[in-house]
Amino acid sequence: MSNLQKTAVILFVFFILLPVLFFIIPLALPFLFLAGMLYLKANLPRIKGAVGERAANKELEKLGPLFTVYHDLYVPNENGGTSQVDHVVTSPTGIFVIETKHYDGWIFGKENQRNWTQVIYKRKEKFLNPIWQNYGHIKALKGYLGEHYNYQSIIAFSSRSTLKFEDDFSSARVIQIPQLNKVIKESLNRQISEVELRGVNKALEQLVIHDGKQKRMVHKQHVEAIRDKQREKATIKPVVKKAPFIEANTELCPKCGGQLSIKNGKYGSFYGCSEYPSCKYTAKIS
């Protein structure tokens, strides 16, 4: 490059390019900031979820050699779709199925309530009872692995939350993520033989997806199947039963998955499970 060409380039940079950049950048900053805020708002749940999952993964990694940990499994279910399970821990003492909730604020709920409540200052948000949600995961695992194993349901909330439960839970342990290892190691009795445990781990290994592209595709199919099911539900009119002790659109029993219906007893009406007498779950009518 000749001296004349070098001089032309220098003049272009200092007298044309730099002034344009200094003029455009200040104008573009507000738009860049707004675009960044919109992106953050749209993806905040996913970002918080990813951060929370890493916290749970880090905690579960400390369990030791007797435990095998699986993350984010898509388990085939009876409907021909999949059930997305956050974490599964296998050990001689049982199979621990963990649903993680990365929520802030105060958490209220009861075992037989369909929805629980998250309270942050004066704002209240409803979310599906995670015990019921995890029951669906365990049901899918029972269909995939077999029903005879000792399955333990654990709901693990973020350490940023405050659990404000009035009653104990009989069908699941509801804790915070830092308590995971302690709760999993509470059981000392062998429930699964070495041969059975190898079979369980081999079956779960088949569900582990290492390829990122394949995992995104499976997740997309999982979400689409859920949406199709929701649309199908919306188009079906509920059948109203005329019997006085059965209510239309009954909820599921949190213990066995049977239908809850209103029954009349000696001391008045109550919710009872359709699987009685094998399941004796009851609940008060609020």
Domain boundaries, the chain: 1-60, 63-233, 238-286
Q: What is the pLDDT of residue 39?
A: 54
Give 253's pLDDT tier (boundaries 50, 70, 90). low
Q: Summarize pLDDT for 193-247 with one digit per residue, the tens.
A: 999 999 999 999 999 998 888 888 888 888 787 777 767 766 655 554 443 333 3
Q: What pLDDT does 216 receive?
A: 86
CA distance 73 to 86: 7
Q: Are 118 and 101 in contact (CB under 8 A)?
A: no
Q: What is the pLDDT of residue 249?
A: 38
Query: DSSP code of 177?
Result: G
Distance CA(49)–CA(99), nearest Å, equals: 12
Give 107: exposed, middle or buried? Use CB within 10 Å, 0-12, 13-18, 19+: buried
Model pLDDT, residue 81:
86
What are the tens digits of pLDDT across the range 112-163?
999 999 999 888 999 999 999 999 999 999 999 999 999 999 999 999 999 9
- Mean pLDDT, rounded, for 98-111: 93
**Buried-state track 257-271, b at ≥16 Cβ within 10 A, e below 16:** bbebbebeeeeeeeb
Q: What residues contact residue 76 under an 8 Å CB cut-off, 6+ apart?
A: 82, 83, 140, 143, 144
Q: Are strands 123-128 and 115-120 parallel, antiparallel or unpaired?
A: antiparallel
The reported pLDDT for the residue numbered 199 is 95
